[in-house]
Structures are given as structure tokens and as C-alpha cells.
Structure 1
Amino acid sequence: MRVRNKPWADTLIADNEKAIVLEPAQYRGHWQDRFASQQPLHVEVGTGKGQFLIGMAKAHPELNFVGIELQKSVLAAALKTSLPEELTNLQWVLADGQGIENFFEPREVAKLYLNFSDPWPKTRHEKRRLTSKTFLASYSAVLGNGGNIQFKTDNRHLFEYSIMSMAAFGLDLRELSLDLHTDVAASEGQLENIETEYEQKFAAKGQPIYRLVARIPEK
């Protein structure tokens, strides 16, 4: 997808260095220094315009959040939206999520979020899927035993692939939903779901949303 350039993005990023990180590797093992309080760290890979992570940071002040996004203009939009909220438990990272083990030490991250990732449907592009074994190895490296991965998508084929990929990798599948919004409504407030921009778009068209939570097994 082609992203329209935003002329103001560079200035906004340069003026808000306390909220955004351009060289994440330098904080490996020291991410808590970026936050007002030392709290469990949750990371979203491919944060888009930030609606999900901003919502999570507002709903969970007891947690710290990092959103990683490769597209500068997209992340600048997330930064712009978040600034008026003055969230001291939220940081943005302008970087490629591939090689995340270079950004965080083992066990530094408690939970990872993958929301509406590119499905890369062609077989020859399997290694680009964010739930392929190469990416899972990177996630496992920063999560450590007991860490969780939460994955949401509107793509049934990617969801099925992710279930098989995670099971083959040895992850424990803890939650599976084939119609998340119906399950949330039926839970009467017991099942939390902060929606993304894409999620709202697809759900409005009647498209079911799929979600799973996988856990790194204790060894």
C-alpha cells in the first residue's frame, strides 16, 4: 500500500523526541527509562495510525506500551493523535519490526500484539508473514517463557495459517475466536477488545474478526 507523504511528519517527530524513538537498539534492556513508571512492557508490531495502542494505554495505566511502525507518515499520524492525551505509558518507534530481538532483551517484553498484518497470500511470500516461524523465533526471544502473543485479523486464511504456524513452533494456544465481536458481546464485559482502524472498517461491512492468544510455554 502506498502511503501519502506528510510534509509535517519530520518536524513533528523532531520536536517530540520524548515520545518517539528512532534508534530502538540503544534502549535494549533499558526501555523502562523511557517511561514515568517501571511497569510490564507490551509491544505492538505494525502499529499503524495508533488507535489500538492509544486505546490500550488509556485503558491500562498500569502497563507500558511501545508501538513499532515502519512508515514514517503513518507513525507521525499516530504520534499526532497521542500527544494531546499526554500518555506517560506510551512510546512510539520508527523502525522495521523484523529483528525485534535487536531492540529488546530476552524477557523484557511481557506481551506482543499483531493486528491486521499483511496476509502475504502467495506461498513464495510466506516468510514475510508476521506469524511465520522466523518472526515467531524473534518474538520468543524477547518474550521468554510465559510471554503472550495476541493476533487479530480479518483474513481467514492467514488466521488458519497462524494457528498451524504457532502450533508447529510449540506455542500454547490459549484463546481462539472466529467471530470476536460476537464473543465480546456475549461475554458481557468480561472479554476486552480495543478496536483498530481496520477492524472497525471490516466489522462495519459484516466481516468477522478473528483473534487468538498464544503463550510461550514454561520450560
Structure 2
Amino acid sequence: MRQRNKPWAKEKMNQYPQYVIANPEQHKGKWSEVFDKNQPLHIEIGTGKGRFITGMAKSNPHINYLGIELADSVIVSALEKLIDEELPNVKLLNVNAEDLEKYFAKSDVDRVYLNFSDPWPKYRHAKRRLTFESFLRIYENILVDAGEIHFKTDNQGLFEYSLTSFSKYGLLLTYVNLDLHQSDFEGNIMTEYEEKFSQKGNRIYRCEVKYQNKK
């Protein structure tokens, strides 16, 4: 979906360094110093306009959250939510997911959320999918041992591809839901896309996977 360009977005982000972390490489291995409390750190890759990450932060004050989004014109909407909410356990990173190892050391992150990622449906674009093998390796290198990925999408093709990708990589599948909104799953925080797609009648798929210690 094409996003409206916001040429003022970068300047606004620079005005709120308490929310949008500049020079994140300086915090590699010591992210606890960015937050008020030393707590487990969960990251959302592709945080969009921030509805999920702010909702999770309000529901789980005992966890720190980082929303990661590359598009200036999108992440600035998440920033506006943080300005309104004043949540101490949420920060934002305006960076590319391909570069996460520049900003995080091993065991910096306890959980990764992937919500409604771009499906990149063409075969030649498979390497761009956030559940492709190269990204799974990046997550492994920044997560704690037995760290988790929680994944949601309305795209059946991407979900099936991702389950296969997880399995081939050796991840342990701990939860699968083929119709989230028709299930008894509790505590679901919807993203903007999730609300839009579900209102159209689209089925929402969700799974949780865990890295296994390699001998």
C-alpha cells in the first residue's frame, strides 16, 4: 500500500530523541540504559503506525518494546502515538531490518514480532520476506537462547511459506492458529492492517516459533 509522503517526518523525529533513538549502534549490548527499567526487550519489525507496539506496552508494563520501521512517513505516525500516550517502555528505531546485527548483540532481544509483513509474492523476491532464511539467522544472532518469533498475517501464501521456512531452519513450532479472530486466543492486540483486513472478512493466521539450542 502506497503511503503518503511526509517531507517533515524526519525533522519531527529529530525533535523527539527520547522516543526515536538516534545512533542505535551506540546501545548495542546495553539497551537497558535506553529505558527507565531493566526489563525483557521485545521488538516489532515493521511496526507501521504503532498501534500494536503501543497496545502491547500498555498491557505489559513489565516489558520494554522497540518498534522498528524503515519508512519515515509511516513511523512518524507511531511517534505521534507515543507523544500522546507518554509510554516509558516504548522506543522507536528508523532503520532497516537487514542491519539489525549492527544495533543488537546476542541476547539483547527476548522476542521478535512480525505482523502483516510485506508478502513479496513473486518467487524472485523471496529473499526480501522477513521469514526468509537470512532474516531468521539475523534474529537468531540477536535473540536470547530459545528466543521466540510471533508471526501474524492475513496472507495464506506467506503463512504457508513461513511455516516451511521456520521448519527448514530448525525452529520449534509451539503455536499455530489458522483463524485467529474465530478462536479463543486471549490478549490479541490488533494492528491497523489487521483491523482493516478482518473487517473485509480475511482470515488472520498466527503462529509462535522458538529457536532451539544447537549442539
Q: Does 1:131 align with 2:131?
A: yes
Distance in 2 of aligned mates of 1:210 and 1:88? 30
Determine if the alignment matches structure 1 residue 208 to structure 2 residue 200.
Answer: no
Q: What are structure 1's unaligned runs of at least 5 residues?
A: none
Q: TM-score, normalised by structure 2?
A: 0.96
Given the alignment, which residue of 196, 201, 212 partners 2:191? 196
- How far apart, CA to CA, are the structure 2 residues paired with 1:75 and 1:112? 18
Matched, 1:142 2:142: yes
| Partner Cα distance (2:124, 2:36) in 1 | 44
CA contact (8 A) 1:172 1:214 kept: yes
Provide the C-alpha distance between the structure 2 equivalents of 1:132 and 1:11, rounded to a whole number of angstroms: 33
- Report Cα offsets for 1:89-119 as digits up to 9, x if no partner: 0000001111312211101100000000010
Which AA in structure 2 matches 1:13?
A: M
1:103 maps to 2:103: yes
Over the aligned positions, Cα root-mean-square deviation in angstroms equals 1.2
Secondary structure of the residue aligned to 1:20 is coil
Q: Deviations for 1:144-185, whole angstroms, at most 9, x for unmatched residues?
A: 3210000000000100000000000000000100001111xx
4+ runs deviating over 6 angstroms: none
Percent identical among aligned pairs is 47
Distance 2:19 2:173 in 1: 34
TM-score (normalizing by structure 1): 0.94
**What corresponds to 1:39 in structure 2?**
39
Instruction: Please say if residues 19 and 82 of structure 2, whose CA atoms lie closer than 8 Å, have aligned partners that are also in contact.
Output: no
Q: How many residues align?
A: 214
Structure 2: distance between partners of 1:126 and 1:9 = 30
Residue in 2 that maps onto 1:90: 90
Q: 2:62 and 2:144 mapped to 1: Cα distance?
A: 21
- 2:107 is paired with a residue of what secondary structure? coil
Structure 1 residue 7 displacement after superposition: 3.9
